[in-house]
Amino acid sequence: MAERPAIVWFRNDLRTEDNPALHAARETGAPVIPIYILDKDIAHFPGAASLWWLHHSLSSLAGDLKNAGAKLIYRSGKSADVLKSLVKETNAEHVFWNRRYYAKHVEIDKDLKSDLKAGGVAVETFNGTLLREPWEVETASGGPYRVYTPFWKALKQLGPARAHMRPNLRKIVGPANPPKSEKLASWNLLPVNPDWATEIAETWSPGEQGARDRLNHFLNDNINDYADGRDRPDKDFTSRLSPHLSFGEIGPLQIWSAVHDKMADGKVSDKAAMKFLSEVAWRDFSYNLLFYNDDLPDKPLRENFANYPWRDDRDGLKAWRKGETGYPIVDAGMRQLWRTGWMHNRVRMIVASFLIKDLLIPWQKGEAWFWDTLVDADLANNSASWQWVAGCGADASPYFRIFNPVSQGEKFDPEGQYVREFVPELKNLPAKYIHAPWKAPESVLEEADIVLGKSYPNPIIDHAKARERALEGYKEIKSA
Ligand code: FAD
């Protein structure tokens, strides 16, 4: 190869637009080699639903890169070894990537960077994932925020790290003879026998174009309902950008600037825009927590929670996973997750509270199930949110705030449309009883063709008693 190439290592930044690492590689003027490495040994390897998404996202990225002029190389193995050998094989002069924030991933990146630099390779890394780097948003006395509201205030004041990079239409010139690549299909990321992803495939369009379409749809049709309607699972008022953000098919800076453009045009109210951006900023906050707390995915931030009297309730866990708890809003959420790979935020809070506080099952079990089944599974958001619901995280919901699955259902799914969609065996039940079918008179159940305990389960636990039990457990760790 005459001119020494520049390698771009793609990770959770599967996009061509507003991608600082790709941009820097292109700016060198050298031939660009984009690579994705499947590293099965990495800590927190993606779950099954994420692998489904990854397959399609990579295929879409490869198409976009090909159109722009470069071939995406697929290789598998220990990421640092694979990258070092690619550098050697191609005599690359530069390596670029966008940063990661989980200690075990940061360690790989740091070691690799110093090894490559020692070998004379120029390595540059960027922020392609967050509005601001964790170390850029610090309290007045230095150090990270542990409470969200002042964090958001500080972030808003600082604004995003840089302007959104406008689409670069210049060709990305790849080498005349690209390095060898494995075949994406040979990675077997898609489920077979059974293929459980049919409805997931009907629901989502992974890839950068899918992300753009999703954002445009949200900004044109839904954002003005967001502030008041975002808690309603029966409505389509949230952006559903989460899987696209998790895989970096779109970055928060692009979202930030698109929302500001709409505001400037007078198409979006300040209230709606700021509410939405403040939720996008929760994602930055979760990444801060992950960056500063190595054990966030595994251990409670409030250490006394490690001694909570959890129960080993396998039947309860199974019923929860399958959406057969007898509480319709919980079951609808768990079935939405299984069928579509996603769950509405309000319902995520309800089902998480039910697992942790009604069933007394450790939050890590719920976190693991979400990790495997969510298409938007994100290490920072998932761990921070589970710790938040459990009451053991930073700025967590107080432990004694225990969601009542019946009143939550009545408040946020008042007509029961969400339950009807995902728990079809209850679809004929009048709204009055849909969140508590056991309260319905026999005649109403009969009319709706429901036999409790047969066509739909009785509640697996009495919520009022479970609540008392959970509070007792909390007293124990508080006094210990
Ligand atoms: P919108 O309301 O449209 O928000 C836009 C974006 O802001 C989201 O895509 C997301 O990136 C970010 N965001 C919104 N709410 C939050 C929040 N509370 N915390 C952090 N970021 C937020 N989100 C994930 O992306 N991945 C996860 O693995 C994940 N696990 C969760 C587990 C539990 C127990 C709970 C309670 C929440 C979890 N969330 C997770 C946060 C939130 O539920 C989702 O981000 C949101 O439902 C995605 O839908 P949306 O894109 O329509 O959100």
pLDDT tens for 44-54 read 999 999 999 99
Distance of CA 58 to the CA centre of its chain: 17
Alpha carbons 345 and 232: distance in angstroms, whole number: 9
- Beta carbons of 66 and 39 less than 8 angstroms apart: no
pLDDT over 70 percentage in the chain = 99
Tell the residue nearest (CA) to atom 47 of ligand 1.
345
Alpha carbons 65 and 185: distance in angstroms, whole number: 18
Q: Which domains does the chain have, with CATH numbers?
A: 6-128 (3.40.50.620), 130-162+207-292 (1.25.40.80), 303-479 (1.10.579.10)
Of ligand 1's listed atoms, the one at least distance from the Cα of 241 is 51
Query: Annotated catalytic, 249?
Result: no
Catalytic residue among 168, 304, 345, 428: 345
Closest CA to 132 of 147, 115, 144: 144
Catalytic residue among 97, 256, 386, 388: 386
373 CB under 6 A from ligand 1?
Answer: no
Alpha carbons 157 and 192: distance in angstroms, whole number: 49
Cβ-proximal residues to 55 (8 Å cutoff; 6+ apart), any chain: 184, 187, 189, 190
Identify the pLDDT of residue 170. 74
244 CB under 6 A from ligand 1?
Answer: no
435 CB under 6 A from ligand 1?
Answer: no
Distance of CA 372 to the CA centre of its chain: 11
Residue 306 has pLDDT above 80, yes or no: yes
pTM (2 decimals)? Answer: 0.98
Identify the pLDDT of residue 2. 58
Condensed to tens digits (0 to 9), the pLDDT of residues 232-251 reads: 999 999 999 999 999 999 99
Alpha carbons 345 and 231: distance in angstroms, whole number: 7
Condensed to tens digits (0 to 9), the pLDDT of residues 335-370 reads: 999 999 999 999 999 999 999 999 999 999 999 999
Identify the pLDDT of residue 398. 80
Query: Annotated catalytic, 97?
Result: no
Q: How far is the CA of 83 from the centre of ligand 1 (A)?
A: 32
- Beta carbons of 354 and 320 less than 8 angstroms apart: yes
Q: Tokens standing for 213?
A: 């379409």
Q: Hey, what amino acid is at 122?
A: A
Alpha carbons 227 and 237: distance in angstroms, whole number: 9
Condensed to tens digits (0 to 9), the pLDDT of residues 21-76 reads: 999 999 999 999 999 999 999 999 999 999 999 999 999 999 999 999 999 999 99
Catalytic residue among 187, 196, 310, 438: 310
User: What is the C-alpha R_g of the chain?
Assistant: 24
Residue 70 dihedral angles phi and psi, to the nearest 5°: -130, 155
By CB atoms closer than 10 A (0-12, 13-18, 19+), residue 260 is: middle
125 CB under 6 A from ligand 1?
Answer: no
Distance of CA 118 to the CA centre of its chain: 36
Identify the pLDDT of residue 1. 45
Distance of CA 163 to the CA centre of its chain: 24
Condensed to tens digits (0 to 9), the pLDDT of residues 138-185 reads: 999 999 999 999 999 999 999 998 887 776 767 899 999 999 999 999
Catalytic residue among 279, 324, 410, 421: 279
Q: How far is the CA of 92 from the centre of ligand 1 (A)?
A: 38
Closest CA to 98 of 166, 13, 207, 211: 13
Cβ-proximal residues to 92 (8 Å cutoff; 6+ apart), any chain: 4, 5, 6, 7, 33, 86, 121
